[in-house]
Homo-oligomer: A and B are copies of this chain.
Amino acid sequence: MAVKSLFIVCFMSALIQLTLASKARHFKWEVGHIFWSPDCLENVVIGINGQFPGPTIRAKAGDTIVVELTNKLHTEGVVIHWHGIRQFGTPWADGTAAISQCAINPEETFVYRFIVDKPGTYFYHGHYGMQRSAGLYGSLIVDVADGEKEPFHYDGELNMLLSDWWHKDVTEQGLGLSSKPFRWIGEPQSLLINGKGQYNCSLAAHVSNSSLPLCRKLHGHCSPHVLHVIPNKTYRLRIASTTALASINVGIGHHKMVVIEADGNYVEPVTVDNIDIYSGESYSVLITTDQNPSSNYWVSLNVRGRNPSTPPGLTILNYHPNSPSKLPTSPLPVSPAWNDYPKSKAFSNKILARPGSPKPPTKPNRRIFLLNTQNTIDGYTKWAINNISLVLPTTPYLGSIKYRLKNAFDVESPPETFPSDYDVMKPPVNPNSTHGSNVYMFKFNNTVDVILQNANALSADVSEIHPWHLHGHDFWLLGYGEGKFTAADEKKLNLKNPPLRNTAVIFPYGWTALRFVTDNPGVWAFHCHIEPHLHMGMGVVFAEAVHLVKKIPNEALGCGMTAKMLIRP
């Protein structure tokens, strides 16, 4: 009895500590179309509470985030995905339409309630149709819990949420992608830093050989988001990318960066001149303001991996007490050539776990190979994984699997690999693939390896970058390789200090190996984070021990077969 009492006392004390330390943070958001000028040209944008980007959420590890989201779009459903948040115990709050919940209908409110258990740099964004591209995103920053300390020192913080922007609305973009003949969205008109860019002008016209004129209008929406610093301090610069398409190189004139965090996980500090960041990734870098304090410095974004037609995204690192409008006279920081893949790979390979980070299980229970190919289906251009182009079902998987509804999706198991004689260096010989909504079903607490295998696209000598993002998990990124993954590559896998990430890029003609543990009952998307690629079918679905999922809120079930079968007046 004494032991039991002691246990109760300890438990109560822990509970009280938790209650004291952690906090529920309430937000009331209205998502709606707004007139806005992200790059100085007015467009219709999806905003939150009348602003673009959406409000930054700032919380502490252990806090409960409660977002009461009301959809004020006139005819469109909406969901919000909390990118990088694992949603332990709350898989219905992952914000993926047709996977974790029914899209929220116009005028309806859905309450996203979830715990942010891990400090880091995150963001949130729409996950329905191409609403992310339409502007539905914002930052989510989780600080260490009270009493905890970050494992590095800094004097101040800066935040940059990167995105790319098109002037054509997403309805037209999405229609073009789904049309025969295919209409590609093209390169973005502008790169945005915290929702701000400059179209048809350059902040750096006086120091670059761009044909664009110097920007004149620099107020309101047209002003860049300046980063204000004090000389001789160390800053943590958080950088997250929610681009629809662009892979971005970020450089700061005359300043080195020390990478310390990736996707909400501490990494072994590494000093670099600039970083490559792919859509879906986040980094924290430390910068020290030890340069000539009488100048301001360029912060520049350049497109990587695609022959760029988008001018650099620019803002200014403003040393106090200089005027923020004092433009740097130095040339723009040197960015690697768009197709300097060795440089990109070298950077990716530098990102390693900080000593003391959790290590991966030594062996997987199951290994899945996912071949990434571009294909045609009935003449429509698609992306496919092991020859299946993902088409999401009408009824979200979470409800249909939990309630064992029949015919809600394609029940055959999708392939675990691809033909061994497939030549990843050539366009598909027979490019036809099929549509499917098939699901990879996982038992609870298994260790799963995924080998993402890139290949040649439909055109000869083309293979693209794809940043793959996993919901509900971090994975260990075991390594990158060239060509087709073979048995000999097994020994190249890094089981010693692989970084934990939620997004991993595959390079042209290469492979990337991941390992994760199926410790989170729910249904989780795993997909290319390039918005038009996902729209074209580039994703798979993982279901984990759904029988262990607790009661799904009715608000997540009001569509498809869960509505049809479960409404009982």
Interface residues, chain A, with chain B CB atoms under 8 Å away? 33-35, 44, 74-78, 98, 102-103, 105-108, 128-131, 169, 171-172, 174-176, 178-179, 392-394, 403, 551-552, 554-555, 557-560, 562-569
Smallest CB–CB gap between A564 and chain B, Å? 5
Q: How far is the CA of A341 from the CA of B562 in the complex (A)?
A: 54
Cβ-closest chain B residue relative to A535: B74
Question: For residue A129, which residues in chain B have a CB less than 8 angstroms away from its CB?
Answer: 74-75, 106
Q: Are A102 and B105 in contact (CB under 8 A)?
A: yes
Smallest CB–CB gap between A61 and chain B, Å? 32
Complex partner residue of A74 from B44, B171, B393, B564, CB under 8 angstroms: B171
Complex partner residue of A558 from B552, B563, B568, CB under 8 angstroms: B563
Count of this chain's copies in the oligomeric assembly: 2
**Also in contact, A557 and B563, with CB within 8 A (given A44-B175, A106-B77, A171-B33):** yes
Q: Are A558 and B559 in contact (CB under 8 A)?
A: yes
Q: Are B105 and A394 in contact (CB under 8 A)?
A: yes
**Also in contact, A105 and B74, with CB within 8 A (given A175-B33, A566-B568):** no
Other A-B pairs beyond A554-B563, A557-B563, A563-B567, 6, CB < 8 Å = A74-B174, A75-B128, A76-B77, A108-B559, A554-B565, A555-B564
Question: For residue A77, which residues in chain B have a CB less than 8 angstroms away from its CB?
Answer: 75-77, 105-106
Which of A77, A551, A557, A567 lies at the interface centre, i.e. has the most chain B CB atoms within 10 A of its CB?
A567
Q: Are A569 and B403 in contact (CB under 8 A)?
A: yes
Listed by A's residue number, 20 A-B pairs whose Cβ atoms lie within 8 Å are A35-B176, A44-B175, A74-B178, A75-B128, A75-B129, A76-B76, A77-B106, A102-B105, A103-B105, A105-B105, A105-B560, A108-B394, A108-B560, A551-B569, A554-B564, A557-B567, A557-B569, A558-B567, A562-B567, A568-B568
Question: For residue A107, which residues in chain B have a CB less than 8 angstroms away from its CB?
Answer: 98, 392-394, 560
Q: How far is the CA of A194 from the CA of B199 in the complex (A)?
A: 40
Cβ-closest chain B residue relative to A178: B74
Q: How far is the CA of A172 from the CA of B130 in the complex (A)?
A: 17
Smallest CB–CB gap between A13 and chain B, Å? 37
- Smallest CB-CB A-B distances: 5 pairs: A558-B563, A75-B129, A74-B129, A75-B76, A107-B394
Question: For residue A569, which residues in chain B have a CB less than 8 angstroms away from its CB?
Answer: 403, 551-552, 557, 562, 566
Question: For residue A172, which residues in chain B have a CB less than 8 angstroms away from its CB?
Answer: 44
Question: For residue A130, which residues in chain B have a CB less than 8 angstroms away from its CB?
Answer: 74
